[in-house]
């Protein structure tokens, strides 16, 4: 049987951003699952767009080589015919919601197939049942959790029954349980004769699919430094302190999110907070940073803490013409030794004169971290999902930096879905609906079953082994 | 700057209990457009029209929503009213204020009882091409999200120590304003990115297909014909029968007041 996807020496260079994908060849047959792996910037997302025809139809640039989906050449066939054959699920589910109800989100793609209302009805009901979304059918997709939104995005594409399903970083925003469920479903689809192509950093989850084939894309992006000296500047002079949080209660939109939460932390620690999507991890960080109204007390030795928050989305915090201006913004007498150390440490020295908007997502995330560290918050930093979309080398760099900050007496608190990353910290806290359900050494907590079962999270076996 | 009190996306909720929710979107569009056109009526007839419109809002359970819309406009309405009164006179002050109130009420009626997809169907019925009708409905539903995004940006900037507009004398005004201007960059970036993500998502689900079908079709019911007939009668009375007794009586009273 001929492959349903045939790619020969495909390479793409974006008009504005430059290189997107180096030459790649790939055949995918029906019923086969293929994992596209590779470091940040190696072109996984670009390849996903080439395979379904969004490149060259929606993107400007130079495409060379040939891609055939079923019997259609992507550079010749109209886009609507290509996406009937190859469905693409994007990385960020909330950014791809086009309508105001779950039901309409699924109907939209079915109407575009030109199906009769009775056929649309049948496929809609089937998709809602398959993904357990019936109870949300009249809800706005924007009110669903990240995991539910990802299910909906998948339901909207699979209801169109494309013979090829392509997923771009589908696990990046999901907790361990939702990730496991999604991978199980993808394995099921492959067994049902769908060709499944998964572009994903978190290879440990994807490996669970039987018969999975892996294609590794090699990137030419510079590798971050994992050698680091002590941080230059003011952290060296931090004296030991205690962060005390007691009776912290936060409500959002009339709904309680955090209830009577209490914990304490000491300077020199790297803390990881894990929990299911929507449980209030980001809200907790916002309260610690003084950005969220709350009831209760958050103090460091009796006073308000000075903790810098690095947001999940770096675009929120970047607005200057160059990376240098960004890091030195509003600093009347910047410590240039510290600036040079930070830029070198985060692999940003070569981008000093580059506009932040032209950096890759991973580089922007590191730049946002540099801006916060350069400001020198007295007690430490709060990192909201710092590993999101980062490859293994960047995660390693992140932990080296966190460790260096902790050794200089600062407190580092991070939230993450990445249990392997959480396992490398000094202390792990599991946040559930009614507060923390576990607090202790990561190694012990990861081996214990009770707290994870209580919050509906699974710890994959490979995390414990590592 | 206020601390964030809500981080949930603000979604425009529909007034599901309102009888107008069941009406066809074309009917509601016609009613809202009629109300918008009514701003051209002279003061006397405008007052009569607003009385009738208030009855419609009360019947549809949206009087409170309209009141809230008008309350949100108080910082525009009050200075405008005072300025018009001082510069021209009470007649202009009253008529301009009433016109803005009427437009706000018309907007409330449509937004609270119509989903973006119903709006799109109404536009398609008006022969607006699908791609434009879809884009307009997408913009319609994104209003609440943009507001949310702007608030998140301000918080992110605050976390960096930016977004502090402090009075530091006239000499510092230029640099302060420059800081405010650069803070709009993330908003532009995010909005552009969101628009691009939505474009990709729409095309990935066959948005450009020439063989589109429609799951839901518009259908005029008895309620729609009743509402449209009533609106037509009100229009004829206000425009055509201007000389009727009761209208003349109101006009005479207002002329006396002027």
Q: Which tens digits make up the pLDDT trace of A227-260?
A: 555 555 554 556 889 999 999 998 876 678 898 9
Quickly state the pLDDT bin for A87 (edges 50, 70, 90): very high
Quickly state the pLDDT bin for A26 (edges 50, 70, 90): very high
Instruction: With CB atoms and an 8 Å threshold, state whether A293 touches B117.
Output: no
CA angle A286, A288, A292 (to 5 degrees): 40
CA of B158 vs chain A CAs: smallest distance (Å) = 8
Q: A156 or A96: which carries more pLDDT confidence?
A: A156
In sequence order, the β-bridge partners of residue A428 are A272, A440
Q: Is A318 on the interface with B (CB under 8 A)?
A: yes
In degrees rounded to 5, what are phi and psi of residue A262?
Answer: -135, 135
Chain A interface disruption, residue of B205, B209, B213, B218, most A CBs within 10 A? B205
Distance CA A160, CA A63 (A): 28
Distance CA A240, CA A266 (A): 8
Q: Is A315 on the interface with B (CB under 8 A)?
A: yes
With 0-12 / 13-18 / 19 or more C-beta atoms within 10 angstroms meaning exposed / middle / buried, residue A192 is exposed
Q: What is the mean pLDDT of residues A290-298?
A: 90
Taking the model in full, what pTM does it have? 0.78
Give contacts of A 147-166 with B, CB under 8 A.
Answer: 156-157, 160
Distance CA A117, CA B24 (A): 19
- Residue B249 makes CB contacts below 8 A (sequence gap 6+) with none
Give contacts of A 271-290 with B, CB under 8 A.
Answer: 282-283, 286, 289-290
Statement: residue B170 has pLDDT above 70: no
Q: Which tens digits make up the pLDDT trace of B200-258?
A: 999 999 999 999 998 888 889 899 999 999 989 988 888 776 555 556 666 666 666 65
Instruction: With CB atoms and an 8 Å threshold, state whether A111 touches B213.
Output: yes
Q: Looking at residue A215, what is its pLDDT?
A: 92
Residue A417 contacts residue A274 (beta carbons within 8 Å): yes
Q: Which tens digits make up the pLDDT trace of A170-180?
A: 888 788 888 88
Closest residue on chain A to B187 (Cα): A316
CA of A317 vs chain B CAs: smallest distance (Å) = 6
Distance CA B54, CA B43 (A): 16
């Amino acid at each position: 049987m001929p492959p349903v996807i045939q790619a020969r020496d495909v390479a793409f260079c974006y008009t504005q951003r430059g290189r997107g994908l180096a030459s790649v060849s790939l055949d995918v047959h029906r019923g086969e699952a293929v994992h596209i792996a590779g470091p940040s910037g190696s072109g996984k997302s670009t390849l996903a767009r080439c395979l379904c025809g969004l490149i060259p139809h929606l993107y400007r640039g130079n495409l060379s080589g040939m891609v055939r989906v079923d019997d259609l050449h992507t550079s010749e066939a109209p886009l609507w015919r290509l996406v009937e054959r190859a469905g693409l699920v994007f990385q960020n589910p909330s950014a791809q919601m086009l309508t105001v109800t779950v039901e309409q989100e699924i109907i939209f793609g079915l109407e575009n197939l030109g199906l009769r209302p009775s056929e649309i009805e049948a496929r809609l009901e089937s998709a809602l049942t398959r993904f357990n979304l019936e109870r949300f059918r009249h809800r706005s997709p924007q009110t669903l959790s990240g995991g539910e939104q990802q299910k909906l995005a998948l339901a909207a594409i699979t209801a169109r029954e494309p013979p090829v399903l392509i997923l771009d970083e589908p696990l990046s925003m999901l907790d361990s349980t939702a990730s496991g469920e999604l991978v199980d479903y993808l394995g099921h689809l492959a067994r049902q004769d769908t060709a499944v192509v998964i572009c994903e950093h978190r290879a440990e989850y994807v490996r669970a699919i039987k018969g999975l084939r892996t294609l590794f894309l090699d990137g030419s992006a510079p590798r971050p430094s994992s050698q680091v000296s002590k941080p230059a500047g003011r952290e060296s002079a931090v004296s030991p302190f205690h962060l005390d949080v007691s009776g912290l209660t936060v409500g959002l939109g009339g709904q309680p999110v955090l209830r009577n939460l209490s914990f304490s932390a000491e300077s020199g620690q790297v803390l990881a907070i894990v929990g299911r999507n929507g449980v209030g991890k980001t809200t907790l960080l916002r309260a610690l940073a003084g950005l969220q109204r709350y009831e209760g007390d958050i103090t460091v030795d009796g006073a308000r803490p000075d903790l810098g928050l690095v947001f999940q989305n770096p675009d929120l915090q970047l607005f200057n013409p160059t990376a240098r201006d960004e890091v030195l913004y509003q600093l009347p007498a910047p410590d240039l030794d510290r600036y040079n150390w930070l830029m070198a440490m985060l692999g940003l020295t070569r981008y000093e004169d580059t506009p932040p908007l032209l950096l890759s997502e991973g580089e922007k995330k590191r730049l946002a971290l540099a801006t916060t560290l350069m400001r020198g918050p007295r007690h430490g930093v709060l990192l909201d999902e710092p590993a999101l979309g980062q490859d293994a080398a960047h995660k390693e760099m992140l932990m080296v930096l966190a460790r260096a900050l902790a050794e200089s007496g600062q407190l580092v608190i991070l939230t993450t879905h990445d249990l392997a990353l959480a396992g490398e910290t000094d202390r792990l806290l599991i946040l559930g609906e009614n507060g923390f359900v576990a607090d202790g050494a990561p190694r012990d907590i990861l081996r214990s079953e009770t707290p994870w079962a209580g919050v509906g999270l699974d710890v994959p076996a490979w995390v414990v082994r590592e | 700057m206020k601390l964030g009190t809500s981080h949930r996306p603000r979604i425009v909720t529909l007034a599901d209990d309102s009888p107008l929710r069941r009406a066809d979107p074309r009917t509601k569009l016609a009613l809202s457009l009629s109300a918008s056109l009514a701003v051209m009526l002279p003061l006397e007839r405008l007052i009569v029209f607003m009385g009738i419109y208030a009855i419609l809002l009360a019947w549809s359970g949206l009087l409170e929503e309209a009141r809230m819309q008008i309350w949100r406009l108080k910082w525009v309405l009050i200075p405008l009213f005072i300025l018009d009164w001082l510069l021209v006179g009470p007649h202009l002050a009253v008529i301009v204020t009433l016109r803005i109130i009427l437009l706000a009420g018309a907007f409330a009626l449509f937004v609270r009882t119509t989903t973006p997809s119903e709006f799109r169907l109404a536009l398609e019925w008006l022969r607006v091409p699908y791609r434009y009708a879809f884009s307009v409905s997408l913009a319609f539903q994104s209003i609440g999200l943009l507001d949310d995004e702007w608030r998140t940006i301000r918080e992110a900037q605050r976390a960096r120590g930016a977004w502090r507009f402090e009075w530091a004398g006239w000499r510092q005004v230029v640099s302060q304003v420059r800081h405010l201007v650069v803070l709009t960059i993330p908003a532009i970036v995010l909005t552009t990115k969101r628009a691009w993500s939505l474009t990709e998502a729409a095309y990935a689900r066959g948005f450009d297909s020439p063989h589109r079908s429609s799951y839901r079709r518009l259908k005029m019911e008895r309620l729609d014909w009743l509402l449209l007939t009533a609106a037509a009668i009100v229009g004829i009375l206000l425009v055509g029968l201007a000389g009727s007794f009761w209208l003349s009586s109101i006009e005479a009273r207002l002329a006396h007041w002027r």
